[in-house]
Chains A and B, each alone.
Chain A
Amino acid sequence: MSGAKASRLSATAIPAPLLIGAVFVTLMFACAAAPGLLAPYDPVAFDYSALLKPPSFAHPFGADNFGRDILSRTIYATRIDCQIAFFSTLAPLVIGSLVGLAAGYFGGWLDILLGRVIDLVLTFPFLVIVIAIVAVLGPGLVNMYVAVSIVGWVFYARLMRGEVLVQKQLDYVGAARVLGFGSARILFRHILPNAARPLLVYWVTDMALKILLGSSLGYLGLGAQPPEAEWGVLIADGKNFFTQAWWMTFFPGAAIVVAGLGFSLVGDGLADALDVKR
């Protein structure tokens, strides 16, 4: 009897990976929302008595070559990395969904055009084309969002198109059409809610990828600009002191891992919970 109870409990409980991922993501949002409350020091305050201090009680993650507290900088960096996760995926999600909806539903030349654009974008390695666009626009966070959006919407459009092609064949769409509903109403009120789930899952997973991308570009000096604290920038700062001060690169790197892992776990958990086949 107790066994049946336990199995029922485990069936309704939130799966462990989703829970762990949610904890990581919540932690990240907390750091992003109130860095001032959590960080023990000012992230840009120089302290010449603490130059390159190893981790201690005063500086749990150590201090960098200007005596800035790594823990505080890592916490403040969360804010920018959350921004990156959100803003570099929002425009692709919206634009890609709309284009994918239209191409999948209307077909014809629009679909052919989208197919060609997808082929074209897939030909360029993602990072290479993003870096090339950033190079033209100039380094900086906003230009990075623009560059990622120019390329990134294609993947959402492809996913949405495939989903719409499936949904369009189902009976409820035919029923809606028989009732005399217009294309816009069928697309947004009927097909979109049914086709959105894989996109939402991809969106969360994509946030993890975009945090990695943002850190990579920050590291190269093409994303967030110093002295702005961003994990990739922090790692780039620590690169020159790697043999003396491993903590300068280790802790921001660990933060990237935790954030990426969190978003990936949430994405996977959502995929399971929403029953999305991948």
Chain B
Amino acid sequence: MNAEFVDFARAKGLPPSSVLVRHILRNAVISTVTIVGLHIGELLGGAVITETVFAVPGVGRLMVDSIFARDYPVIQALTLCLALLVSLTFLATDLLHMALDPRIAR
């Protein structure tokens, strides 16, 4: 809010809403995107617990069930799939970073 580009945008006579959304939000949301990306992994891990507690027939539930069934290929596949999903999320956040701040793309 105190950065010079905000003063400049205001000095250009832009309405406050435009300054807030186009100039401030765009810069402020970058770190939020990082946090969201990092938390996706935690959420996916947490899903194992949540799905068991609430009996949701999802990936996490399948994982716990296959552990007790000693079904190792399923566990392997699920672990790999979740890792892939997290990698893709990291990729998406990186791409979003580049879209939000072209300086990162260089």
**A interface residue numbers (CB < 8 A to B):** 122-129, 131-132, 134-136, 139, 216, 219-222, 239
- Dominant secondary structure of chain B at its interface with chain A: helix
Are B49 and A216 in contact, with the CB atoms below 8 A?
yes
The residue in A122, A135, A136, A220 that gathers the most chain B C-beta atoms within 10 A of its C-beta is A135
B72, A124: Cβ atoms under 8 Å? no
Q: Contact check, B41 vs A126: say whether CB atoms are below 8 A apart.
A: yes
B48 near A128 (CB under 8 angstroms)?
yes
Give the distance in Å from the alpha carbon of A222 to the alpha carbon of B46 in the complex: 15
Cα(A239)–Cα(B75), bound, Å: 25
| A contact patch SS | helix
Q: Which of A134, A220, A222, A239 has the most CB of B within 10 A?
A: A220
Size category of the B interface is 20 to 34
Known contacts A123-B87, A131-B63, A136-B72; decide if A219 and B79 are in contact (CB<8 Å): no
* Other-chain contact of A126, B42, B75, B78 (Cβ < 8 Å): B42
- Which of A123, A127, A128, A220 has the largest count of B CB atoms less than 10 A from its CB? A128
Give the shortest distance, in Å, between B28 (CB) and chain A (any CB): 21
Q: Give the one of A124, A219, A239 with max B CB within 10 A.
A: A124
Distance of A135 Cα from B86 Cα, bound (Å): 21
Q: Is the pair B83, A123 in contact by a Cβ cutoff of 8 Å?
A: yes
Please name 27 pairs of A and B residues whose Cβ atoms are closer than 8 Å in the assembled complex, sorted by A: A123-B87, A123-B90, A124-B79, A124-B82, A124-B86, A125-B82, A125-B83, A125-B86, A126-B42, A126-B45, A127-B42, A127-B48, A127-B49, A128-B78, A128-B82, A129-B79, A131-B67, A134-B67, A135-B66, A135-B75, A139-B67, A216-B49, A219-B49, A219-B53, A220-B52, A220-B64, A222-B64
Which of B46, B48, B72, B78 has most A Cβ within 10 Å? B48
Q: Are A220 and B45 in contact (CB under 8 A)?
A: no
Q: Determine the chain A residues whose CB is within 8 A of the CB of B41 once the complex forms.
A: 122, 124-126
Tally the A-B contacts, defined by beta carbons under 8 Å: 63
**What is the chain B residue whose CB lies nearest that of A222?**
B67
Interface flags, B52-78, vs A, CB<8A=1, else 0: 110000000001101110001001101
B44 close to A (CB within 8 Å): yes
Q: Can you add 11 more A-B contacts, CB < 8 Å, to A129-B79, A222-B64?
A: A123-B90, A124-B82, A124-B83, A125-B45, A129-B83, A131-B67, A132-B63, A132-B76, A135-B67, A139-B67, A219-B52
Task: Indicate if the CB atoms of A220 and B48 lie closer than 8 Å.
Answer: yes
Residues of A within 8 A of B90 (CB): 123
Q: Is the pair B46, A127 in contact by a Cβ cutoff of 8 Å?
A: yes
Query: Separation in Å of the B87 CB from the closest CB of chain A?
Result: 5
Given contacts A123-B87, A221-B68, contact A132 B45 (CB under 8 A): no
* Distance of A129 Cα from B63 Cα, bound (Å): 11
Contacts of A139 in B (CB 8 A): 67
Complex contacts, A221 vs chain B, CB 8 Å:
68
